Structure 1
Amino acid sequence: MNALLNTANRHIGSFLRDDEGAQVVEYALIIAVVSIILVVALRGLTGASFSDFIARVETCLTGGACA
């Protein structure tokens, strides 16, 4: 029983010290913030509402005329 508790304690300690997943979360948050900033900046440059901006991007991506 003691060996089982020692093994479990080692595995739990190893799990708590592992911080590889934190880097993924940090990168995801950075990408999300940069994406929001880009959308807001591009919306301000086009002078259109957000739905008009999305419609223009969709038209350009589907092979329509981009203005």
Structure 2
Amino acid sequence: MLGDKAGASAAEYALILAVIGVGVAVAFGQLGGAIKGKVESATSKISTADAS
């Protein structure tokens, strides 16, 4: 019986880690998109300033 509880605990920890991993991946995706937008905006402003 002890083995069954240990197996269940390991499965629960694996599930928790999977959920956290997905959350981190989504957060990094969102952050990457935000950073890309800021860099593109800065690049556009620099190009416009150079053209003046």
Q: TM-score range by the shorter chain?
A: 0.5 to 0.7
Rg bigger for which structure?
1
Gaps of 5+ in 2: none
TM-score (norm 2): 0.67
May I ask how many residue pairs the two structures share in their alignment?
Answer: 47
What root-mean-square deviation, in Å, do the aligned CA atoms of Structure 1 and Structure 2 show?
A: 1.9
Choose between structure 1 and 2 for higher RCO, CA contacts under 8 A separated by at least 6 residues: 1
Correspondence for 1:6 among 5, 8, 19: 8
Flag the structure with higher helix content.
2
| Displacement of 1:44 | 0.7
| Displacement of 1:8 | 1.3
| Displacement of 1:10 | 2.0
The percent of aligned pairs where both chains have the same amino acid is: 6
